[in-house]
Every structure is written in structure tokens, then in C-alpha cells.
Amino acid sequence: MLFNSWVFLLFFLLVYPAYRFLNHAWQNRLLLVASWVFYGWWDWKLLGLLIGTTFVDWGVGLLLSDPARPHRGRILALSVVANLGVLATFKYLGFFVSQLNEVAALAGAGALLPVLKIALPVGISFYTFQSMSYTIDVYRGQTKALRSFWDFALFVSYFPQLVAGPIERSSALLPQLQAPRSISPAQMDSGSWFMLWGFAKKILIADNLATIVEEVFDAPRSAGGLNALVAAYAFTFQIYCDFSGYSDIARGLSRWFGIELMENFRRPFFAESPRDLWRRWHISLSQWLRDYLYIPLGGNRTGHAQRNLLVTMLLGGLWHGANWTYVVWGGLHGLALAVQHRLGWEPKGRGAKVLGIVLTFHLTVIAFVFFRASSLGGALRFLGSIGQWSMEAEAWIRLKQLLLLTLPLMAVEAVLEWRPQWFMRVPRPIQAVGAGILFWLTLVLGASFGQKFIYFQF
């Protein structure tokens, strides 16, 4: 079920009024049923996979609740193997089998194994990481094991953030689910703004930029230099508005239910360095990788911080999908982080910070070419076409579209970055007029309802 669909609007209109009239216990039951309906709307067969992994991790958590229990490491391994096994089977099995067959072909042998076509369950990378972090936290003594399966199932399945994050921690989300909730007018007001801004980013900006991106990326050989350059910028803004728009909608919806989700994006295009970028972009994933991969690898303590950064980001790239393009995307960011760590560089002074913002942004743009391309060869040809400079007439039209869609966005984000108090001073009537104009622009100029969010494929 898509946020930007009429089906979801009907779903919400049925669920929310009932939620407001129920007590806490029944609110949680309603949210769990609603979350399973929300997820099962894509394919009811895949709902069994979600419930199955939930049941395994709930049981592992109970077994780990006793710190004196022997073989706790092996019990934890059951959760890790189950979650990563599900990911490996549905997301990576076909990729690795095809790579093995290619190596065998180079060696003169035939295909060793058949390549199975397995449907990828939507949101599987998000809910497996969220569920697995719970069992690790229980093992570490950072979270108490839940006795109630239903509370834990709601933690894993909570529908606003189920399929594209943010990846919530048990220490932040579980207490909110377990305690009675009150919903203030301020929460509903701020939640409405989050949803409006998120829908505008998705429908008005991202989905309109998608046309530019698809026309150029799908025919890189015929794209001239300016066309390719515009498309590279367009995809960078498209994926940001698409993904952060989902997070904004999720946060806004959740506030209407009296539950606070973490901030997943913090104006990443104003990042002053690669390190700063990953404190702003997909924050829930970067924190997950830091706490459950980078630090266990040794972090900065072993003298191999650059290696650990590179390994972490390579695996972070692979998390996004079974393609070498994602690995290269992660590797480029890992290399940039390793170089910054090696040099010990942090921009100081206004000039250095401006230079840092420009360089970090363009590193992001170049890396996203690999993220968007269907193959490494396609990404390299696309980058090569930028060097073959030409200024086609349609490229100027696309450039104007890009600027019209992104300059207002960046103006708003610049104010939020450097002068957020300005928005607080805007009188309520003017805020209402602004909200009305944004709503009208989204309806009139936005793309059609029902276009999927990019991160649903991960």
C-alpha cells in the first residue's frame, strides 16, 4: 500500500477515527492489525515471512533475557543467521549464483547452478535490520526482552516506517508503544506539516524529476554532455526528495498517532564533508552500520579505522541491492570517509566550509550515477558522455525544469539550516496561506498518484 494512493487514504480514514476512540491496549491491537493489512496489501503470502522472522526474534529475545543462560552467543547467532539468511535468500541468492556461473563460464565450464527468480519482499532490508538490532541490544543488556509477542510484533511491523524506515531502535520506539499515549494539537499541527512537505517532495519534485532521469539514463549513448550532467543532478535530487519525502510522511503520520519517529534526513546537501554527509543522510542506517558493524570491527580503536570505514560502506552499499553498482557506490563513500579520517580534515572557516559543501555535494552526485545505472559499464559510459560536451536544445529545457523544481527546495532547506527561527516567526495566517499554496501546487503540478517510492525496492 502506497502513501500516495487513494487506497491508503481510505485505509487511514478507517483506522484513525477508531484509534482515537480506543484505550491504549486496543490502540496497539488496532495498529498491529492495520500494519499487517498495510504490508499484506502487496502480497499476503509475504506477510507470513514478516510474522515468521518476528516470532524468531521475539523467542530469541526471551532466551537472551537471562544473563546467566549458557551459550548466549549461539542463541544470538540464531537471530542473526535467520535474518541474514532471509535477506540472502530473497535479495542476494540470484545475484551470487549468476556471478558464480559467470566465473564458471570463464573457466570453460557450463552454468553450475540454476538462477532462481524470487520476488523481493518489499521493505525486507528495513524490518530485518530493525528486528535484528533488538536481539543484539537484548544480548548486550541495552534493552529488556519483551514478554508480549504482540508488542514486539507491533515494534517490527509499525506501518508508518515499516517498508522504508527510518530503522528504529527498540530503546526509542518500544517505550512509546508500551506507554499510554496522548495526542496534542501541536503534534497534529507539526505532523500535518511533515506530511504536506513529504508529499510535495515526492509528488511535486521527485516524480517530475523522474521523467528527466529516465529519458537520459535509459539511453546514455545518445545523451550529450549537458543532458547527462542535468540528469546526474536530477537523480541526486530525485532520490533525496523521494526517500526523505517518505520519511517526512512517516514522521507526520506517526505524530498523529502520538508516536515520535527519529529524524532520518537532516539537509544532507549542506554537508561540509563526507563524515558530515553520513550524519545527515539516511541517519538511521548510518547509525545502525556504525553501532552494529563499524564498532564491532574495531572502529577507531584498532588502528585500522580506514579499512573498517571502507568495509562498512561496501557492505552498506550491498545492503541496497544485489548489484556491483551499489557496491561501487558504497565503496566511493567509504574511500572518501577513509581519506578524510586519514588526513584528519574538518573544514574550518567560512571559505573552507563552502568549498567542503561543494565538493561533498559533487561526490554525492558522481556516486549516485553508479547507484542509478543498471551496470558498471553503463555508469562509466554515462560519466564519459559528460566529458563529451554538447549543448542540445532539449538539455536546456531539462535544465530549466531542474532549476524550477530544486531551487525553491534548496531555499527552504537553506533557511532551515541557517535561520530556522524565521519560520517560527511567520504569523499563523501566512502559514495557512503557504500550506494552501503548496497543497495546490502539489495537486496541480505534481505527477500522478501511485508512483512507487524508490527505496521500496530495497
Which positions are annotated as active-site residues?
A: 320
In 72-193, the DSSP E strands lie at: none
Calculated CA dihedral for residues 383, 389, 393, 394, nearest 10 degrees = 0
115 burial via Cβ count (<10 Å: 0-12, 13-18, 19+): middle
Contacts 24+ apart (CB under 8 A), 279-283: 282/165, 282/243, 283/166
The residues, ordered by sequence, that sit 6+ positions from 166 with a Cβ below 8 Å of its Cβ are 247, 250, 261, 262, 263, 264, 283, 284
Cα 423 versus chain centre, distance: 27
Q: In whole angstroms, what separates CA 61 from the centre of its chain?
A: 26
Burial class (CB in 10 A: 0-12, 13-18, 19+), 153: buried
Residue 166 C-alpha cell reads as 527510518
Inter-residue contact 332 to 363 (CB < 8 Å): yes
CA distance linking residue 81 with residue 414, whole number of Å: 44
Residues in the chain: 458
CB 456, CB 3: distance < 8 Å? no
> CA angle, corner 278, sides to 241 and 422, nearest 5?
60
CA distances from residue 136 to 73, 147, 286 in whole angstroms, order as listed: 10, 16, 17
Asked if 94 and 117 touch (Cβ cutoff 8 Å), the reply is yes
Quote the cell numbers at residue 314: 561496501
